[in-house]
Amino acid sequence: MAQYSTTLDGVFQAVSDPTRRAVLGRLGAGPASIGELAAPFDMALPSFMKHIGYLEKTGLIRTRKTGRVRICTLERGSFDLIEGWLRDQRTIWAGRTDRLEQFVTATPDRHRDKETPA
């Protein structure tokens, strides 16, 4: 849990803003230049670049410069991180249920409480 928290907090902060969510949504369709991404927004470029910077810093997107154009790409690993956290919890509970099942089906009821753990 702890190892996920810091990264997850950053991810959640990054996606808490409508502009950043819109950028992520656009990038879901494929890489795009800063110019393309900024076009729908009535926003000064430096302000827009702060949003891009935030998304890059939290690892949700990558940017690379090709010539005079900076191209942004969605970094899907960050989304896997969010899913991975719940998947880990599910694995823990499924494992518990496996062991409970094993315990109650493999151990005769009348002896169970008196057995010494191996």
**Residue ranges in contact with other proteins by CB under 8 A:** 1, 4-5, 8-9, 12-13, 15-17, 21, 24-25, 27-28, 74, 76, 79, 82, 85-86, 89-90, 93-97, 99-105, 109, 112-113, 117
Q: Which residues are within 8 A (CB) of 17 and not within 5 positions of it... i.e. 6 or more apart?
A: 51, 54
In whole angstroms, how close is the CB of 88 to other proteins at the nearest point?
A: 10
In whole angstroms, how close is the CB of 56 to other proteins at the nearest point?
A: 16
Nearer to other proteins, 24 or 38 (CB): 24
Residue 19 has which token pair?
């502009």
In whole angstroms, how close is the CB of 85 to other proteins at the nearest point?
A: 8
Q: What is the DSSP string of 62-89?
A: EEEEETTEEEEEE-HHHHHHHHHHHHHH
Residue 74 has which token pair?
């969605």
Residue 80 has which token pair?
């896997």
Nearer to other proteins, 1 or 67 (CB): 1
